[in-house]
Structure 1
Amino acid sequence: MSESTPSQRLYSLDALRGFDMFWIMGAEDFFHELMVATKHPAAIWIATQLSHVEWNGFRFYDLIFPLFLFMSGVSTPYSVGRELEKGTDKSKLLQRIIKRGLILVVLGIIYNNGLHIKPLAEVRFPSVLGRIGIAYMFACIIYIYASQRFQYVWFVGILIGYWLLLKFTSAPGFPMGDLSMEGNFASWVDRTILPGRLHRGIHDPEGLVSAFPAIGTGLLGIFAGNFLKNSTLDIKRKAPSLALAGVVCLIVGGFWDLFFPINKNLWTSSFVLYVGGCSLLLLAVFYFIIDVLGYRRWAFFFMIIGVNSILIYMSGKFIDWYYTSKGVFQWMADLAGEHYYEVVLAGGIIAVKWGFLWFMYRNKIFLRV
């Protein structure tokens, strides 16, 4: 934890990061409780979109995780790139990047298992933060040591290489190219070499092998950040260019889905392009409204979340937010009645979390990794 003002960066990026975190800091539970209370078709549709698909396919909730990794890439030209421009030694930058990646891996293990001493077989090592740490680390290394042209070569090579890897392999006893949960090569490797337990027994969505294509998600974010920072295009033309790139990614990812299904669990190459397209479109919208047109006030709610995203993500393991919400809003829940009791408390969790983040922001306290 450090006490300092946020580093200079795109306001729209902090707002988009906050928008992303908003859904997992309480909005998901709110809409699920609203669905239970109302049974309204709109609430059912939203609640469905706020849940993961079982295997192949895509819903809005499958975007939350890769969008965060994408934004880590977007910020890289503004942070690491600035250090390179200052002449900072690449070896020193490499040490910082590796340190940050490893810290995220450790925080991910803590998030999964708490601060408990467990038998090794019960510890889950793969994690969301670990995936972000590993993918961000390697994407940054490519950014530092490869020219811009070869960064694109790395991106294409990673996506095609991962496709060929899963196309021409499988778990023992399964036909070549099997992409079922039990039969795919990536899950088999994870079952074979990863210690501890996997999230779904025979598969872990944050496994070791599927971290390889996730580097592509980080690189796609780096491409977007580099374009916003260094392109000589007029600022008003940057957002449409990002949006066009997003549409292209959606089309290519959707076409690739016919041969290599969009699958978050395996982080398939088609998934990288599809969620990358969605991420580029969202970034284009936020950038145009906030940084081009200058409409910032509406985004303050999300920005407060975005500047302390890791803090609010980890807080659920150490703070009983439901208990806090009851302490502040139970009177309101009682007035709403039994039918909407949990809806009010779910909304209260969002409110108390945001109030906590606002307090941290006002006192310039930010969790740095």
Structure 2
Amino acid sequence: MENTAKGRLVSLDALRGFVMFWIMSGEHIIHALAKAAPIPVFIWMSSQLHHTDWNGITFYDMIFPVFLFVAGVSMPFSFEKKMSIAGVNTPIELPSKEKRKIYLSMLKRTCILLILGFVVNGLLRFDGYDQTRFASVLGRIGLAWFFAGIIYLNFDIKGQVLWFVSILVCYYLVMKWIPVPGFGAGVLTPEGAFSSYIDQQFLPGRLHSKVYDPEGLFSTIPAIATALLGTFLGSFLKSSANVFSANKKILLLIASAAVLIGIGMLWNYDFPINKRLWTSSFVCFVGGFSILFFTFFYLIIDVWGFHKWAFPLLLIGSNSILIYMASEGLVNFKHTAEFVFGGAIKMFPLIWQPVFTTSSVTLVQLILLYFLYKRKWFLKI
């Protein structure tokens, strides 16, 4: 039995928790394992939990876009109640007065995410305007989600697809054809890319990588397409709830993922898959894998009903923004883990102690999340 009929996708919370797990502490467990037991599988997993230097793709490069994709999937479900109250079937039919309320709510959410992104980047250290980084992961999520929401509320599915295609094609044309002073057109290097030039000229404060910012201004535009791709999947699940069988939906999802991955791989020859530039090929390639990741969780949890195993992921997914901010430096989980479990950890061989230390960090984080979950304390934005 599918849980989509209840308007709730447990698999979506689990997938959100899955990608956030690697950021909050999972990556450190794998890196420690690769050092303690350098067998091929651990070494490969460790290599996948680093960003690529420039062109190319690893699993770690997919985490951010998958999270943004999930935010897009949630959108059609989050607006469902408002459409039901207004007595309409599609968001485009919502009365103007109701849309204005939604716009203000979306703008508020985006502004909060921008501010929280500033905080994660160290705004409250008061290091000075020139040393403050204003671009952020949370800021990009807020901006991309906001503009994807504007498109979702004002265009039917054909219009949304047209926006999706136009964003990717126009971004490609600009990056390939508009010359950058001192470099020329189509130079997709950290220094010579058009998006880097825009960051250097218009992004205030400090750039993450001196000559560009991976969450910069211009490269946020194709991130809107990533969020839109999520809304397509969310809309499909809502509209097909009583049309297709679960098995047929799974096959359609896998087929759409294969098409997107194929487009991304072909486009890669002319417009390389690059997370830092958020290239159009990157959007397609990772978009396909985002659908596959979702399909895996959707099949096991929402279709087959096996969900107890995913409870730790649900704890993470239900407070994903909070645990992200805490893990990015607001809370010293390692200090707490060593204080509580340090004595027991020292009983293990020295080479294995980092593995148990990093695992204890995850345990501390999960205990905190469980405490918040039981009391229904969630950071909702």
1:114 shift after superposition:
4.8
Establish whether residue 351 from structure 1 lines up as the match of residue 363 from structure 2: yes
Map of 1:36-115 to 2, 5 A cutoff?
Answer: 36-87=35-86, 89-115=98-124
Comparing 77-86 and 174-183, the one that deviates more: 77-86
Contact 2:120 2:330 in 1 (8 A): no
Cα drift, residue 84 of structure 1: 2.9
1:289 aligns with 2:292: no
> Is residue 84–residue 90 contact of structure 1 (8 Å, CA) maintained in 2?
no
The amino acid across from 1:67 in the alignment is V
Hey, what's the Cα distance between the residues in 1 that align with 2:315 and 2:165?
35
Percentage of identical aligned residues:
45
- In the alignment, which residue of structure 2 is the partner of 1:9? 8
Asked if residue 143 in structure 1 is aligned to residue 148 in structure 2, the reply is no
How does the TM-score come out when normalised to structure 1?
Answer: 0.96
Is 2:130 the partner of 1:118? no
Please name the residue that 2:3 is paired with.
none
Indicate whether 1:156 and 2:155 are aligned. Answer: no
1-structure distance, mates of 2:115, 2:264: 32
Q: 1:122-178, CA deviations, whole angstroms, 9 ceiling, x for partnerless residues?
A: 000000000100000000010001111100000000000000010102321113111
| Deviation string, structure 1 residues 172-223 (Cα, Å, up to 9, x no partner) | 1113111011011110110111111100000100000000000000000000
| Matching of residue 311 in structure 1 with residue 322 in structure 2 | yes
Deviations 1:30-86 (A, max 9, x none): 111222223322221111000000000000000100000000000000002432332
- Residue deviations 1:84-118, cap 9 Å, x none? 33226011001111111111111111001152212
- Deviation sequence 1:202-250 (CA, Å, 0-9, x none): 0100000000000000000000000011122223321221111111100
Aligned to 1:220: 229
Runs of 5+ in structure 2 lacking a partner? 1-5, 87-93
Query: Residue 259 of structure 2 is aligned with which of 241, 248, 259?
Result: 248
Query: Corresponding residue for 2:244?
Result: 233
Asked if structure 1 preserves the Cα contact closer than 8 Å seen for 2:72 and 2:229, the reply is yes
What number of residue pairs does the alignment pair up? 363
Runs (5+) with no aligned partner, structure 1: 1-6
Following the alignment from structure 1 to structure 2, what is the Cα–Cα distance between the partners of residues 102 and 29?
31
RMSD: 1.3
Distance 2:179 2:35 in 1: 41
Asked whether the equivalents of residues 113 and 142 of structure 2 are also in contact (C-alpha less than 8 Å), the reply is yes
Asked if 1:365 corresponds to 2:377, the answer is yes
TM-score, normalising length: structure 2: 0.93
Quote how far apart the aligned CAs of 1:298 are.
1.2
Distance of aligned partners of 1:69 and 1:285 in 2 relative to their CA distance in 1, 3 Å threshold: same
Residue of structure 1 equivalent to 2:204: 195
Distance (Å, rounded) in 2 between the aligned partners of 1:21 and 1:149:
32
Q: Secondary structure at the match of 2:187?
A: coil
